[in-house]
Amino acid sequence: MMPRHPSLERIARERITAGKLPRICCDFIWGGYGRGDLCSLCDKPIRSSEVEFEVPEVADSAGAALKFHIACYAVWRLECAHGDAERSLNVEQVNT
Ligand SMILES: [Zn+2]
């Protein structure tokens, strides 16, 4: 783990725990330049000069597609994977 964005990681963890962000592993995303929409993690607008990652798969459950800066998307994915690793830690120790 390389915590380059500790505060964002904390927000991501809190929002995942609170159910505001889904804990999913999603390989299907849209990428494009931002349109001024707010990022689902840091709540800052994604400017037209920045790349926006959109996660359409969770649109049904969350009501709207999630949108992230590249860095925020990476942090969210990291926190999702981190939670999975914690849950499977005991199993892995038994297997090895
Ligand atoms: Zn962001």
How do residues 39-78 score in pLDDT, each as one tens digit? 999 999 999 999 999 987 655 555 678 899 999 999 999 8
User: Could you tell me the distance, in angstroms and rounded to a whole number, from the CA of residue 74 to the centre of ligand 1?
Assistant: 10
Q: Is 1 a domain residue?
A: no
**Which own/partner pairs from 80-85 qualify as long-range (CB within 8 Å, at least 24 positions apart)?**
80/16, 80/23, 80/24, 80/25, 81/25, 82/1, 82/13, 83/16, 83/23, 84/23, 84/25
Query: pTM here?
Result: 0.73
Note whether residue 56 is domain-resident: yes
Pinpoint the alpha helices (H) of 1-96: 6-18, 59-62, 70-87, 89-95
Q: What residues have their beta carbon closer than 5 A to ion ligand 1?
A: 39, 41-42, 69, 72
**pLDDT confidence of 5, banded at 50, 70, 90?**
low
Q: Confirm whether 23 is domain-assigned.
A: yes
Residues in a beta bridge with 53:
31, 68
| Domain range for 58 | 6-95
The Cα 78–Cα 15 span in angstroms is: 13
In a domain, 17, yes or no: yes
Residue 11 lies in a domain: yes
